[in-house]
Chain A
């Protein structure tokens, strides 16, 4: 019984941690590129701040998934539900989509955002396009989050 809870917690932890790491790496990459531009032209800070913050959303999605899981297994207020091993593993599996898509989309969105900083440097008026290009990578983290929410929502622990 305790193992069930353990697996469920592992799911929540993976969702928050892996998606968070994705965001860390993504924001780092974009942030480094942004610093380079700001060193040359501090006025563009507002524009590149947006690009730098974009890969940060995966971490929020992972956090969100972890909260949903914690809520599902009754850790947030109320009594914890009893979960058998199969149930715990089910929660773990349900957490994987956002964990994995969050990790990779965060990393790679950071690279697209860093390239977008280039657009902001050369053609400031086109920086909106850089934001959109970068957001296309995020789509798959959004879908991953959606799958995780739907799967967790579908589980029933009575």
Chain B
């Protein structure tokens, strides 16, 4: 059912404002509703601090990666890798840690490393630049040329080399030599040293320009050769690498405060949450009031706890505004709770609608079981989900899903056994023994040899669920006091469909012909009632009659909804046949390949069945869900309620211990 909500206001003396908010946040009971005349809260620095802590944490995880200090995680905590801390611990960490200094230190370390990396980059570039020329035994002074001659270092591309040489020959005083050729199959660069008289320098520059060559200037001091300069740079690079390593080592101690920083980060997130809540409350000079929704079930206990922790606080229930809509939370028995995961995919119903979860639970299971329809796979699912719940630390949300899959596995075992699905084996072909005989006895329908029978079963499930949907709708309308609507819009449709079914059954000789004939008359009378009533919102009698007649079209949409259930047969057949094919390939491998064939067959069987189980569990879940959302829900609910979202824990790096229950 949908949890009833009560609107409350809590008031307290102003100095205790922060403590109260923190307490409420830890309790997670109140969905804050803005008060009229609520105060404005300006921007705070918390957001900026959060960004800086985030930066520090990113730096630490980089440190971790570069120093090889990876975090270890036990198997039990495979799905719960984050540290667990109460809100109290988070706040204590925030108070204890001098965040500003720590973040500043980390930023400094990060800057140091960053500048070393940038310097390394510059030096590497310079070394690359020098590399082609190191064979030239000339100094920086010689590179500048003499009074009468110039020395040019030029990089020419392979495609331009021919033109380059031809043009050079036209410069009378030019002499040149190739310093280095770096050539691959199609592209390449040739490095030339060209000496010429100063008078011809302009001509050389012209050639360089015409051939798209590059005139290179090297950063070499006058007294030193190119190779000496290169060596000097390489030495500098080594020093820098050492410096990088030592800075990294010096920073390594930051890793030890990672946990504290994570706690502080989440503590700040909670602080932001509280600051935002402030905007929705009323702060007066001496007192502070917060308003919101509390699940009625928790009202008493919350009141008691509040009185204990804050003796001076006052809590009272208030009347909601006229157009104010309460938030929606589910409140179901432990057996039904896992199915809330299905409803939540669709979204919350409105506050005054029915919770569809109990209604869909059984149908979802049957649809899932029929769509997977392999008892062997069902057993695996049950074992896996049971093990997951037993051996892993799971969050509440995940535990819901795991439990749901456990139920779904159980349903699959039942429906799989009824349709004779056991890992895609053909029971009839197995050597007869007690087990096989029992399984054969349980098997009622063979999907592959008599799919039409199973199709009938799928349709029957559809008809039952859709009639049930109208029943739910009728109950909902009756409950709200719309009794005539319950009779005319829900009950009349149920009797209409049933009378059609009985009439058809009479024609087939399933029920006595007299009953069939009676059903026909009943159907006609029922149709007249529908035609007369379905247009009742119209004043114009012609329009009223017209829309009454048109409403019978509802039978067509009922039919198309029922046909949608045929997917259950198709998905069930898909599981069975893929399993069959996997076994077939396994058998072929064993027969065709001697000795190792058996091992290959094991791989084929394992891989194949795991694949089949995975894709068909996914398909069964999605399509069983879809039948609820598209075919079932619209008959009695609209959805679109606001989810109950209490002022509570927000977590990025830290988990709430209560999430593990």
Which residue numbers of A lie inside 8 Å of B, CB to CB? 50, 53-54, 56-57, 60-61, 64, 67-68, 76-77, 128-129, 131-132, 135-136, 139, 142-143, 145-146, 149-150, 153
Contacts and interface: CB of A to CB of B under 8 A. Distances in A.
B31 interface: no
A67 B581 contact: yes
A50 B345 CA distance: 15
B623 A149 contact: no
21 contacts: A53-B615, A57-B619, A64-B574, A67-B581, A77-B584, A129-B345, A129-B346, A129-B347, A132-B622, A132-B629, A136-B630, A139-B626, A142-B570, A142-B623, A143-B567, A145-B574, A146-B566, A146-B569, A149-B573, A150-B451, A153-B451
Nearest to A128: B345
Contacts of A54: 622
Main secondary structure of the interface of B (DSSP, over half): helix
B344 interface: yes
Nearest to A56: B615
A133 B238 CA distance: 58
A150 B452 CA distance: 8
Contact of A136 (B448, B584, B626): B626
A51 to B, nearest CB: 11
Interface residues of B, number: 29
B625 interface: yes
Given A132-B626, A135-B626, A142-B570, 16 more contacts: A53-B615, A57-B615, A60-B574, A60-B578, A64-B573, A68-B577, A76-B584, A131-B345, A132-B345, A132-B622, A135-B622, A136-B630, A142-B571, A150-B452, A153-B448, A153-B451
Given A129-B347, A146-B566, A61 B626 contact: no
B51 interface: no
Contacts of B581: 67
A140 B347 CA distance: 25
Interface string B621-651: 0110110011000000000000000000000
A145 B452 CA distance: 14
A54 B618 CA distance: 9
B122 to A, nearest CB: 29
B564 to A, nearest CB: 7
B332 to A, nearest CB: 19
Contacts of A143: 566-567, 570
A142 to B, nearest CB: 5
A145 B566 CA distance: 11
B615 A135 contact: no
Contacts of B570: 142-143, 145-146, 149
Contacts of A60: 574, 578, 615
A132 B569 CA distance: 19
Contacts of A145: 570, 574
Contacts of A132: 345-346, 622, 625-626, 629
Interface in B334-351: 344-347
A130 B455 CA distance: 29
A60 B618 CA distance: 13
Give me the 9 closest cross-chain CB pairs, A-B, nearest first: A128-B345, A146-B570, A135-B622, A142-B567, A142-B570, A145-B570, A67-B581, A64-B577, A135-B626
Contacts of A50: 618
Interface string B566-594: 11011101100110010010000000000
Nearest to A135: B622
A135 B626 CA distance: 8
A57 B448 CA distance: 20
A43 B140 CA distance: 54
Interface in B530-578: 564, 566-567, 569-571, 573-574, 577-578
A59 B571 CA distance: 14
B608 to A, nearest CB: 12
Contacts of A57: 615, 619
A57 B626 CA distance: 16
A143 B565 CA distance: 10
